[in-house]
């Protein structure tokens, strides 16, 4: 496999396991903060209207599960670290160090405040992360596993220092601390968890914006804090005083709204984007937003037809064409996958021989007369129709359950009795392959892990565990490849495509992609 030099190099353990904040990152954060305090240019508006594929349904970042709630969490809650194209920059932390694979120390910046004016100190951070890692919620448990591994994390506050100690070694903690769900909740929010989830606690927010209006699942309005100056990136333009989020009804409607000025920034994953890419009236950037795979349910007692049936899993995988799925769902603009996450990530399998070749006739020999329960999301009708018709063409009877994005993700973990195979969307914002692989290997979701297959794969699990604790980058990468080979040969999942999202802004606005991610806090008014 050709080695790809991308983000994981910045995240992997060095021989000494010491990753301290560089002065350049601190200077960048300081410059961004001073920008917030300087005089701002005159601009034509103080509002940005944008769209998501769904609207936030709740506002507690620790338990956010749907993509809209997770994306919006970035507006209201700062994380300790942020990803940049050069590595990490400070968020609420100003310095950070990995002392070992089990011990991490961060310095909390001295000017961070909550939306009620109270100071964010190391104890506030420790209390918030303790809540995240102990709350009885499937989404929080999954993000805890991604951020802190399989062991138990302990957070100790002393002065301006936060110590993180793990019961089991885990090398991706710094990357985990950039994830939206690790956003720091202020004491007022922890004191009123129901109000936090509803977005009604005025002092809960640690980020640049507070929620000023919400119609759950329909729209949300955020207002810029007057006292906020801790921007992690230095960007052209000024932050909007108001951000209005509405739901993109469909891609054609979004294009019409963008042309008419009804929205200022929106995203496309299909050919509607192409009318804006060569116009001086619009700017755009692209990013891989999600990697889509079919994951098979092998949970004992779930009633899944795929338990102890590798030949049936292989048949279902061979009945669905990656190219056909790409055309149906994304007008052919996606990129075929060879593993669970993006092909450009380092240490991703690129051996096509490990995948099931598209062969509907061969699939029919095993699928004829089999009933398959397909779990998918409600706003992807074309993709769902393609998958279900492909399986039906091979002789299967297909029963479709299409849920809204938040419920769809929750059902993958907590409602194993309603599905045999599910469409999974992996939106890995860190670039670390191991975090994506935990969806199909490692601790099971019913045991607090992220693995939704319901099956333990000892070979893959051992290889994954080694990769997360080794200080030898080449050896760690080889182990990740071994882990992927094992689950692909077992047909635990079938890779499909990753989508290319076009983030389009009309004249006077910008929305840069940072470290491969669309970040709502980076939207700016430029004219």
Query: Does residue 7 register a pLDDT over 50?
Result: no
Q: Quick one: pLDDT at residue 42?
A: 62
- What is the pLDDT of the chain when averaged over all its residues? 89
Token pair for 157: 């506050």
pLDDT in tens, 349-361: 999 999 999 999 9
Task: Say whether pLDDT at 38 is over 60.
Answer: no
In the chain, domain spans: 8-264+508-525, 288-500
pTM for this entry:
0.75
Q: Work out the average pLDDT over 413-420.
A: 95
- Ramachandran category for residue 448: left, alpha or beta (phi over 0 → left; psi -120 to 50 → alpha): left
CATH superfamily of the domain spanning 8-264+508-525: Periplasmic binding protein-like II (3.40.190.10)
State pLDDT tens for residues 463-498.
998 988 777 889 999 999 999 999 999 999 999 999
- pLDDT tens for 211-241 read 999 998 899 999 999 999 899 999 999 999 9
Segment 291-303 shows an average pLDDT of 97
Task: Please give the pLDDT value at position 249.
Answer: 86
Question: 363 — alpha (psi -120 to 50), left (phi > 0) or beta?
Answer: alpha
Distance of CA 138 to the CA centre of its chain: 15
**Where residue 2 falls among pLDDT bands split at 50, 70, 90?**
very low
**pLDDT given at position 153:** 97
Residue 176 backbone dihedrals phi, psi, to 5 degrees: -60, -30
Q: How far is CA 414 from CA 81, 290, 445, in A?
A: 30, 21, 8
> Residues 55, 393: contact at Cβ < 8 Å?
no
User: What percentage of the chain carries pLDDT values higher than 90?
Assistant: 72
CATH classification (class only), 288-500: alpha beta
Range in 139-143, 156-160, 300-304, 336-340 the model is least confident about: 139-143
User: Is residue 171 pLDDT above 90, yes or no?
Assistant: no
């Amino acid at each position: 496999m050709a080695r790809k030099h991308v983000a994981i190099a910045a995240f992997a353990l060095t021989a000494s396991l010491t990753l301290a904040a560089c002065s350049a990152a601190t200077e960048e954060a300081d410059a961004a903060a001073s920008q917030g305090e300087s005089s701002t240019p005159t601009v034509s508006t103080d509002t940005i209207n944008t769209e998501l594929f769904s609207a936030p349904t709740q506002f507690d970042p620790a338990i956010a599960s749907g993509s809209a709630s997770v994306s919006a969490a970035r507006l209201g809650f700062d994380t300790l670290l942020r990803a940049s194209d050069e590595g990490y920059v400070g968020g609420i932390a100003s310095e950070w160090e990995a002392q070992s694979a089990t011990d991490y120390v961060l310095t909390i910046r001295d000017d961070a405040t909550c939306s009620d004016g109270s100071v964010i100190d190391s104890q506030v951070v420790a209390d918030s992360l303790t809540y995240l890692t102990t709350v009885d919620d499937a989404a929080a448990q999954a993000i805890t596993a991604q951020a802190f591994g399989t062991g138990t994390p302990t957070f100790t506050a002393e002065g301006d220092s936060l110590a993180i100690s793990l019961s089991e070694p885990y090398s991706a903690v710094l990357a985990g601390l950039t994830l939206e769900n690790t956003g720091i909740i202020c004491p007022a929010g922890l004191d009123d968890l129901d109000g936090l989830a509803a977005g009604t606690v005025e002092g809960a927010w640690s980020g640049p914006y507070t929620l000023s209006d919400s119609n759950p699942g329909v729209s949300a309005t955020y207002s810029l804090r007057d006292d906020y100056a801790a921007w992690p990136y230095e960007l052209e333009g000024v932050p909007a005083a108001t951000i209005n989020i509405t739901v993109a009804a469909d891609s054609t409607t979004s294009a019409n709204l963008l042309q008419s000025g009804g929205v200022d920034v929106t995203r496309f994953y299909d050919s509607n984007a192409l009318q804006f890419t060569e116009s001086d009236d619009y700017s755009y950037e692209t990013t891989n937003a999600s990697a889509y795979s079919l994951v098979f349910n092998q949970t004992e007692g779930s009633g899944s037809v795929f338990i102890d049936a590798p030949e049936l899993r292989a048949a279902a995988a061979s009945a669905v064409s990656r190219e056909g799925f790409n055309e149906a769902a994304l007008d052919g603009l996606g990129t075929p996958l060879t593993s669970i996450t993006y092909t450009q990530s380092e240490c991703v399998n690129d051996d096509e021989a490990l995948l099931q070749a598209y062969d509907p006739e061969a699939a029919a020999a095993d699928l004829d007369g089999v009933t398959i329960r397909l779990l998918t999301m409600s706003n992807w009708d074309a993709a769902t129709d393609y998958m279900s018709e492909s399986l039906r063409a091979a002789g299967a009877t297909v029963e479709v359950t299409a849920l809204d994005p938040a419920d769809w993700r929750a059902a993958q973990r907590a409602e194993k009795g309603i599905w045999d195979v599910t469409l999974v969307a992996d939106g890995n914002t860190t670039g670390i392959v191991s975090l994506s692989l935990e969806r199909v290997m490692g601790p099971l979701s019913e045991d607090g892990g992220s693995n939704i297959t319901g099956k333990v794969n000892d070979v893959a699990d051992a290889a994954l565990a080694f990769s997360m604790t080794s200080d030898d980058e080449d050896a760690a990468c080889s182990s990740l490849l071994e882990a992927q080979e094992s689950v692909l040969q077992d047909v635990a999942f079938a890779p499909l495509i990753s989508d290319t999202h076009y983030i389009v802004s009309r004249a006077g606005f910008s929305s840069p992609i940072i470290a491969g991610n669309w970040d709502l806090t980076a939207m700016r008014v430029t004219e």
